[in-house]
Structure 1
Amino acid sequence: MPKFNLQTHLKQVHKERRTATTKKVDEAIQRLVRANENINFNSVASEAGVAKATLYNNLVLRERIDSLRQQQVNVPTKKQIQRKMNDNNKDALIDSLKRKIKRLEQENKDLRVQLKVAYADIYKKI
């Protein structure tokens, strides 16, 4: 009968738990990426169902979350994109209104000239 070695058994159990935790965290990160959610230690911990301390203590997971978080900092958020679109729309609207103002000013000028001519004709008839 083989001897039961507690130390070997505990190492094996610890290794299996570490693998399972890493798998849960990987799946949680993938879900967050697909859902276009913010990736940080809080969101990954709650999505994976693990403690934040686990993420901070595991250097591989910590570096991965940090790098993903830094990538998201460089990507504009939905609000920033919407604001930029609004700014572009505002610029186009302003340009359109400026052209309309110039056209109306020219039309107003032409009408004033026509009015002067009409007044001159009326004055000549008197």
Structure 2
Amino acid sequence: MANKAPNMDGIKYYSKLKTEKSIKKAEDALKYMIKKQLTINFNSVAEQAEVSKAFLYKNQELRSRIETLRGQQKGLLSPKQVKRNISDSSKDVIIASLRQRLKKLEGENKELKEILKIQFGKIYEEI
């Protein structure tokens, strides 16, 4: 004998609570990602918030927010792109400073070799 009018209030209530909790997790993840300047897309938000991508796509408010933020980030350069765009002049400065350091170290090495030769000579004379 099946129940013709089952009481679904509890199921609906807990389903609503679960949805609200997931929305809060997604919102917190978006705030964190914006603060840390991380790439925002459905995959990264789902991973950060520990919710499914399907949930993000179904919730229109979250979906539009993610799409907007993703669109805003298209024009920005990622840290990897910025690093690649180091100008030639800054590379030249780095190369020049490394060459100068190399010459200094080679000079010190030459001096130490001379001192070592003198010390070995003194030791040999004592024998």
Task: Return the TM-score normalized by structure 1.
Answer: 0.59
Q: What amino acid is the match of 1:13?
A: Y
Structure 2 residue ranges without an equivalent (≥5): 1-5, 94-127
Which residue of structure 2 lines up, in the alignment, with residue 38 of structure 1?
Answer: 39
Please state how far the C-alpha of 1:66 moved relative to its aligned partner.
0.6
TM-aligned CA distance change 1:59 to 1:88, over 3 Å: farther
Q: TM-score, normalised by structure 2?
A: 0.59
Separation in structure 1 between the aligned mates of residue 35 and residue 70 of structure 2, nearest angstrom: 15
Residue in 1 aligned with 2:17?
16
Please report how far the alpha carbon of residue 11 of structure 1 lies from its aligned counterpart in structure 2 after TM superposition: 2.2
TM-superposed deviation, 1:82: 3.6
The alignment-based identity, stated in percent, is 37
Unpaired runs of at least 5, structure 1: 94-126
Deviation at 1:30, TM superposition (A): 1.4
Larger helix fraction of residues: 1
Query: SS at 1:50's partner residue?
Result: coil
The structure with more radius of gyration? 1
Superposed, 1:94-113 pairs within 5 Å as none
